[in-house]
Amino acid sequence: MRIDALLERKSGKVATVRPEASVTEALGLLAEHNIGALVVSTDGSKVDGIVSERDVVRRLQDTGPQILSGQVSAIMSSEVHTCAPSAEVDSLVELMTTRRIRHVPVVEDDRLVGIVSIGDVVKSRMDELEADRKALEDYIYSR
């Protein structure tokens, strides 16, 4: 399965946050959208970074609560692994496993077009397994 097929199952909207936003604002967006990561973008289409709940928790531990009033740019990951809509989900699984990341922005022509989480990948796999199970049952019972 390709990433674009996986994205068709999602809303299509990617939650972003500006680099100069406060960490508290980012936490509000994470809670509002019930998600684990935000793409950091100055214009909503270019990927400047990514910030996750884990980034916040780790910086809170290292620095203390003053990090909450600081800018997202201070805690975001600047090295962002992305994928294209035409990429295969299997290659994305390998990337996520190797790099130990849970969210991968989908970029086409240097423009943010989606984001895939490990939860999206697991759901896709579960759907495939269910379809295979049903096909096998139908085959067995039709004989």
Q: Specify the pTM.
A: 0.86
How far apart, in whole angstroms, are the C-alpha atoms of residue 96 and residue 128? 19
Range of the domain at 26: 3-141
Under 8 Å between Cβ of 106 and 3:
yes
Which CATH number do you get for residue 34? 3.10.580.10
| β-strand partners of 51 | 38
Give the tens place of pLDDT for each residue, 9-37: 887 789 999 999 999 999 999 999 999 99
Number of domains, the chain: 1
Give the tens place of pLDDT for each residue, 43-84: 999 999 999 999 999 999 999 999 999 999 999 999 999 999
pLDDT of residue 88: 94
Give the tens place of pLDDT for each residue, 89-110: 999 999 999 999 999 999 999 9
